[in-house]
A and B are shown apart, each in its own frame.
Chain A
Amino acid sequence: MKVQLLFPELFQLLLVAGLFVQSVVQRDRPGQLKNWLPWAAGVGVLVALVSLGQSGLLFAQIYQVDRLSQFFKMTVSLGFFLTVINGVGQPRLERAKTCDYFLFMALSAWGLMLLCSTVELISIYLALELASFSLFPLVPLRTKSLSGAEAAIKYIFIGGVATTVGLFGFSYILAAQHTTDLNQLVHMSWSHSPMAVLGLTLFLSGLLFKLAFFPFHFWAPDVYEGAGNETAAYIASLPKVGAVAVLLRFTPLLKPGMDITTTLAVLAAVSMTYGNLAALVQKDVKRILGYSAIAHAGYLMVGIVAGTAMGVAAAGFYAFAYVLMNFTCFWVICRESKGGENLKLNDLRGLSRRAPGLALVLAVGAVALVGLPPTAGFMGKFFLLAAAWNRGCNWLVMIAAGNVAVGLFYYLNLVRYAYTKKCSEASGTAPEIEGPTSVLSLFGGLFLAGLVILFGVLPNLVFRMLMP
């Protein structure tokens, strides 16, 4: 076994261990965390970047290290890095629990990394559980918030049911196909056994829950709303990456015209349309992003339904871009809500006067989520649609393209409130007169916005990582 195949995972595990030690030893001095965790997470991204080229099969053929898995691991570690720099100073977190918070988060990211590489149903299931269960305790850690507790219960119950259903489906698959190896399963015939198809459907639903994909989407807006802003930023982006990575392993199965492909395509169409329409009437910024996440789950599924190498690459690119776009928006939300409370659209009024830099960052993030050029969001949508054309679901491509126009309205609302609406004097609750945004938070935001535009103008940088 070559150790260098596992560098990203090992490094992340090291981070987990470090956090564990600090959590046990220096419980009362969590301030120390600020000094090393961001740097360590940054090094994690570099490690993942360096090990992009590795490939091999480990642990009795159940752990596949290839271009795809390494790319997704890099995305996860990038997301973890962004979570850390976004969340180290968060206001609604008890000081004593800071270490535990990041410990669970790092553990969840580690689970997602494993998920990217596993090609066997049981290990997929275990990695999925690891990622989910580490995430459950994070939601109620938002202090002084009843909705945090409510969101946590919803998340745990729905998540628990979804994984149980997945496990149930797994048993059917095992019974019908007599193997749990994904690489064998995808090349087997599924038509002869309805039980296997049922099992697969149930198993997929466990993954689709992670993706917030219709009809497993109910938790998303509520959990985003109840969880702390920084936690929501993580929940909104990274578990999706893991889910997409596993779903992409199923793509050889998804031939055009098959029932399961058509079902997924229909659900993708419903997911994006429903998400976009429901977001139109939201007033809470995080709820908007929650429904937008449902819509984006639909977009990501377009690449999976396409089923080709192009589709896989497109979905990979989009997942990567989505992490960046999402963090760009959440960055502004976290900076703007000084006390860690939820932001309403009205709180964004006059943002362009208060903090022109952050307003610009928010505008870039919103425009990218709409899918307008010159952002990574546009390129990602373009690649997805191009990959799915002539794969038996051109109607899905049409719906996805049309949905851009629907989504425009509520993303534009973010920009509208930030730029064109003035602060209403009467409300007075808006956090106006505070010092200028700190240089660090401004540069962090501009860095993210810059990345979103950079990968929109030069998407080849990503494709070089994804398809050598």
Chain B
Amino acid sequence: MVEAHFPILTCLILLPLLGCLGVLLIKTPLAVKGWALGVSLAEMLLGLCLLQFSMGTADFQFVESVSWVPAWGLRYFLGLDGISVFMVALTLLMFPFCIICSWTSVGTRVREFFICLFVLISALIGVFSALDLVLFYLFWEAVLIPTYLLISLWGGPQRDPAALKFILYTLAGSALLLVAVIAFRMEGGSFSIPALAAQSFPAHFQKWMFLIMALAFAVKVPLFPFHTWLPAAYGQAPVAGSILLSAVMAKMGAYGFLRLGLPLTPEAAHFFAPLIIAMSVCSILYGGLLAFAQSNLKKIIAYSSLGHMGFVILGIFLFNLNGVQGALIQMVNHGITTGALFAVAAILYRRSRSHDISANLGLGRFVPALMGFWGFFAFAGFAFPGTNNFVGEFLILAGAFERNLWLGAVAVPGALLAAAYMLRPTQKMAWGEPSTAGGWRDMSSREWISLLPMAFLVLYMGLAPTLCLKVMNPSLKHLMGAVQSRKTVTLSVDKAFSTAAANQNDLKDTLERGGRP
């Protein structure tokens, strides 16, 4: 544990909330937007302090620990390791991106919109930095209400059922998570995640807890068959909502597996790994097939998200370093790529007033820059070599082959499907006839500003992922080490038990046959 000299994480959580107060004092919509952008940039600048993160250690850093409710053992306990630092960085990156992307798309209730967005961002940073289970759960659930409001107030025409489905589904998934939190406390004597991760719980207990947690996380990711809220929510949310849902909130589920599922219940994770792997392979293939069948751009991106997150979960449950490295990199990259794709879709919508492919045909001649960006991010989306997703998917597939030849062979078609469902709309949009783009304006400077950093990151992460790997490796190695060591312990115990049982059976057999042992 490395204590923070300066409570940087608390500041990152509080700054957006203070930004809300500022919004209340400002009257004109334009000034509110300017203020929001200012707050988000200030938050990013503040986030630069996280560059002090020291590589080469698996310890938690920037740790803040204050007693919160002493009678119940609750602590205000924050910290980052090589896993969560990426998630916080991703959230910080998406914050100004969302604001720039929704600059013109929010017409009504501008102040309320930014208040929701600020609260959401601060809750998301809280989820990724909380090291106390109750605090984690608190931030986890605090995400729901602002997201619900974002979808139901500023979403598309079908927003009301979409928002309702989203919140009912996710809350139903995570309601029992609170029971798991309490059960861990009673069994392990603490709410602190690092302290609990150092203990080993009885196998039976682990299995129940893992199932409860997996339900909450699988709904959030989402994994097949818990994905049915996804197309509606992603499709109907306003652009900032879609970006945050896909880029950051989907990661909450995967992060939950990495932070709680694997370290706290390693044996159960091994026990249920085939099930989770099957679910993730289904997500990859089914998501890919569904994406291929869509005619609505946002739905294509939504289902492609399902497939990509399937890869992430697959990587996590391979239990080898390649897989989990790939998963974490893929989490970041999927955030960047999908966020950018949603942004491009929103830019197109501003011109065509439709998300249908048929309303966005033949863009190549009229709006080459915009089409270029779509093509670029679409290529990144199906993991073209040299782009960021390639690194993640490659590592995951390598891990899958390392674990089992057949598993790798099943996952590969998912990558192929991605190429198919991304290239089909791209081709139509670039060269489709008759063109609907006559008279459109190409990208404005604000749109350039929003997409260029994303394009840069796509290439940077694709060509030079070493730095990221260096940051995450110690934590991931520590995680894998802990999981593997406990697995071997249980396996040897199991073996001892089973040999004993077998001996006994032999004994019984011999006795039954009337012979002497």
With A416-B152, A419-B153, A420-B153 given, is the CB distance from A467 to B71 under 8 Å? yes
Instruction: Kindly provide the distance from the CB of A186 to the nearest chain B CB, expressed in whole angstroms.
Output: 24
- Interfacial residues, chain B to chain A (CB-CB below 8 A): 68-72, 134, 137-139, 141-142, 144-145, 148-149, 152-153, 159-160, 163-164, 167-168, 171-172, 175-176, 178-179, 182-183, 185-186
Q: Which residues of B lie under 8 Å from residue A367 when comparing CB positions?
A: 145
Of the residues B70, B142, B144, B182, contact of A386 by C-beta under 8 Å = B182
Q: Which residues of A lie under 8 Å from residue B138 when comparing CB positions?
A: 373-374, 378
* Beta-carbon nearest neighbor of A366 in chain B: B145
Q: Which residues of B lie under 8 Å from residue A363 when comparing CB positions?
A: 145
Q: Which residues of B lie under 8 Å from residue A382 when comparing CB positions?
A: 134, 178, 182
With A373-B138, A397-B179, A460-B71 given, is the CB distance from A390 to B172 under 8 Å? no
| Contact indicator A416/B182 (Cβ below 8 Å) | no
A378 and B134 CA atoms in complex are apart in Å by 11
Q: Which residues of A lie under 8 Å from residue B139 when comparing CB positions?
A: 373
- 25 A-B pairs whose Cβ atoms sit less than 8 Å apart in the complex: A310-B72, A313-B71, A363-B145, A367-B145, A372-B141, A373-B139, A373-B141, A378-B138, A378-B141, A381-B178, A382-B134, A382-B178, A386-B186, A389-B186, A397-B179, A397-B182, A401-B175, A401-B178, A402-B172, A402-B175, A404-B171, A409-B164, A420-B160, A460-B70, A463-B72
* Beta-carbon nearest neighbor of B176 in chain A: A401
Kindly supply a per-residue 1/0 record for chain A positions 357-398, scoring 1 wherever the CB is within 8 Å of any chain B CB and 0 otherwise: 000000100010000111000100111011001100010011
A6 and B127 CA atoms in complex are apart in Å by 47
Q: Which residues of B lie under 8 Å from residue A381 when comparing CB positions?
A: 178
A389 and B138 CA atoms in complex are apart in Å by 19
Instruction: Kindly provide the distance from the CB of B69 to the nearest chain A CB, expressed in whole angstroms.
Output: 5
Q: Which residues of A lie under 8 Å from residue B149 when comparing CB positions?
A: 419
Of the residues A374, A397, A401, A463, contact of B71 by C-beta under 8 Å = A463
Does A405 lie at the interface of the complex (its beta carbon under 8 Å from any beta carbon of B)? Answer: yes
A313 and B153 CA atoms in complex are apart in Å by 39
Q: Which residues of B lie under 8 Å from residue A165 when comparing CB positions?
A: none
Does A37 lie at the interface of the complex (its beta carbon under 8 Å from any beta carbon of B)? Answer: no
A412 and B166 CA atoms in complex are apart in Å by 12
A373 and B122 CA atoms in complex are apart in Å by 13
Q: Which residues of B lie under 8 Å from residue A310 when comparing CB positions?
A: 72
Does A149 lie at the interface of the complex (its beta carbon under 8 Å from any beta carbon of B)? Answer: no
Q: Which residues of B lie under 8 Å from residue A419 when comparing CB positions?
A: 149, 152-153
Kindly supply a per-residue 1/0 record for chain A positions 210-237, scoring 1 wherever the CB is within 8 Å of any chain B CB and 0 otherwise: 0000000000000000000000000000
Describe A's contact surface by its main secondary structure: helix
With A390-B186, A397-B179 given, is the CB distance from A408 to B171 under 8 Å? yes
Of the residues B71, B142, B168, contact of A408 by C-beta under 8 Å = B168
Q: Which residues of B lie under 8 Å from residue A386 when comparing CB positions?
A: 72, 182, 185-186
A20 and B153 CA atoms in complex are apart in Å by 51
Q: Which among B167, B182, B183, B186 has the highest number of chain A CB atoms within 10 Å? A: B182
Q: A402-B176, A405-B175 are in contact. List 16 more A-B contacts (CB 8 A).
A: A372-B145, A373-B138, A378-B138, A389-B179, A389-B186, A397-B182, A401-B175, A401-B178, A401-B179, A405-B171, A412-B148, A412-B167, A416-B160, A419-B152, A420-B152, A460-B69
A419 and B149 CA atoms in complex are apart in Å by 9
Q: Which residues of A lie under 8 Å from residue B72 when comparing CB positions?
A: 310, 383, 386, 463
Instruction: Kindly provide the distance from the CB of B25 to the nearest chain A CB, expressed in whole angstroms.
Output: 15
Does A459 lie at the interface of the complex (its beta carbon under 8 Å from any beta carbon of B)? Answer: yes
Of the residues A373, A383, A404, A467, contact of B175 by C-beta under 8 Å = A404
Q: Which residues of A lie under 8 Å from residue B152 when comparing CB positions?
A: 416, 419-420
Q: Which residues of B lie under 8 Å from residue A374 when comparing CB positions?
A: 138, 142
A-B pairs, top 9 by smallest CB distance, nearest first, are A405-B172, A373-B138, A405-B175, A420-B152, A386-B182, A389-B182, A401-B179, A373-B142, A404-B175
| Contact indicator A412/B182 (Cβ below 8 Å) | no
Instruction: Kindly provide the distance from the CB of A450 to the nearest chain B CB, expressed in whole angstroms.
Output: 13
Describe B's contact surface by its main secondary structure: helix
| Contact indicator B176/A459 (Cβ below 8 Å) | no
* Beta-carbon nearest neighbor of B183 in chain A: A389
Q: Which residues of A lie under 8 Å from residue B163 when comparing CB positions?
A: 420
| Contact indicator B141/A408 (Cβ below 8 Å) | no
* Beta-carbon nearest neighbor of B170 in chain A: A405
A459 and B71 CA atoms in complex are apart in Å by 10
Q: Which residues of A lie under 8 Å from residue B159 when comparing CB positions?
A: 420
A372 and B141 CA atoms in complex are apart in Å by 6
| Contact indicator A398/B179 (Cβ below 8 Å) | yes
Q: Which residues of A lie under 8 Å from residue B160 when comparing CB positions?
A: 416, 420
Q: Which residues of B lie under 8 Å from residue A460 when comparing CB positions?
A: 68-71
A390 and B163 CA atoms in complex are apart in Å by 36
Q: Which residues of A lie under 8 Å from residue B70 when comparing CB positions?
A: 460
| Contact indicator B179/A385 (Cβ below 8 Å) | yes
Q: Which residues of A lie under 8 Å from residue B142 when comparing CB positions?
A: 372-374
* Beta-carbon nearest neighbor of B175 in chain A: A405
Q: Which among B160, B168, B175, B183 has the highest number of chain A CB atoms within 10 Å? A: B175
* Beta-carbon nearest neighbor of A398 in chain B: B179
Instruction: Kindly provide the distance from the CB of A363 to the nearest chain B CB, expressed in whole angstroms.
Output: 8
Instruction: Kindly provide the distance from the CB of B284 to the nearest chain A CB, expressed in whole angstroms.
Output: 29
* Beta-carbon nearest neighbor of A381 in chain B: B178
| Contact indicator A459/B69 (Cβ below 8 Å) | yes
With A372-B142, A378-B141, A390-B186 given, is the CB distance from A408 to B179 under 8 Å? no
A223 and B484 CA atoms in complex are apart in Å by 61
* Beta-carbon nearest neighbor of B149 in chain A: A419
Q: Which residues of A lie under 8 Å from residue B68 when comparing CB positions?
A: 460
Of the residues B71, B134, B141, B168, contact of A409 by C-beta under 8 Å = B168
* Beta-carbon nearest neighbor of B172 in chain A: A405
A405 and B179 CA atoms in complex are apart in Å by 13
A381 and B139 CA atoms in complex are apart in Å by 16
Q: Which residues of B lie under 8 Å from residue A416 when comparing CB positions?
A: 152, 160, 164
Q: Which among B164, B168, B171 has the highest number of chain A CB atoms within 10 Å? A: B171
A389 and B137 CA atoms in complex are apart in Å by 17
Q: Which residues of B lie under 8 Å from residue A467 when comparing CB positions?
A: 71
* Beta-carbon nearest neighbor of A464 in chain B: B71
* Beta-carbon nearest neighbor of B119 in chain A: A374
Q: Which residues of A lie under 8 Å from residue B186 when comparing CB positions?
A: 386, 389-390
Q: Which among B149, B163, B178, B185 has the highest number of chain A CB atoms within 10 Å? A: B178
Q: Which chain A residues (393-447) contact chain B, with CB distance < 8 Å? A: 394, 397-398, 401-402, 404-405, 408-409, 412, 416, 419-420
A386 and B167 CA atoms in complex are apart in Å by 24
A229 and B148 CA atoms in complex are apart in Å by 29
Instruction: Kindly provide the distance from the CB of B201 to the nearest chain A CB, expressed in whole angstroms.
Output: 14
Q: Which residues of A lie under 8 Å from residue B185 when comparing CB positions?
A: 386, 389
Instruction: Kindly provide the distance from the CB of A269 to the nearest chain B CB, expressed in whole angstroms.
Output: 14
With A460-B71, A467-B71 given, is the CB distance from A412 to B179 under 8 Å? no
Instruction: Kindly provide the distance from the CB of A394 to the nearest chain B CB, expressed in whole angstroms.
Output: 8
Instruction: Kindly provide the distance from the CB of A200 to the nearest chain B CB, expressed in whole angstroms.
Output: 30
Instruction: Kindly provide the distance from the CB of A442 to the nearest chain B CB, expressed in whole angstroms.
Output: 13
Instruction: Kindly provide the distance from the CB of B74 to the nearest chain A CB, expressed in whole angstroms.
Output: 8
A394 and B160 CA atoms in complex are apart in Å by 36
Q: Which residues of B lie under 8 Å from residue A378 when comparing CB positions?
A: 138, 141
Of the residues B69, B141, B153, contact of A463 by C-beta under 8 Å = B69
* Beta-carbon nearest neighbor of B187 in chain A: A390
Instruction: Kindly provide the distance from the CB of B413 to the nearest chain A CB, expressed in whole angstroms.
Output: 36
Instruction: Kindly provide the distance from the CB of B279 to the nearest chain A CB, expressed in whole angstroms.
Output: 21
A401 and B181 CA atoms in complex are apart in Å by 11
* Beta-carbon nearest neighbor of B173 in chain A: A405
Q: Which residues of B lie under 8 Å from residue A394 when comparing CB positions?
A: 183
Q: Which residues of B lie under 8 Å from residue A409 when comparing CB positions?
A: 164, 168
A374 and B70 CA atoms in complex are apart in Å by 18
Q: Which among A313, A381, A402 has the highest number of chain B CB atoms within 10 Å? A: A402
Instruction: Kindly provide the distance from the CB of A410 to the nearest chain B CB, expressed in whole angstroms.
Output: 11
A420 and B167 CA atoms in complex are apart in Å by 15
A381 and B179 CA atoms in complex are apart in Å by 11
Q: Which among B70, B71, B167, B172 has the highest number of chain A CB atoms within 10 Å? A: B71
| Contact indicator B176/A398 (Cβ below 8 Å) | yes
Kindly supply a per-residue 1/0 record for chain A positions 286-318, scoring 1 wherever the CB is within 8 Å of any chain B CB and 0 otherwise: 000000000000000000000000100100000
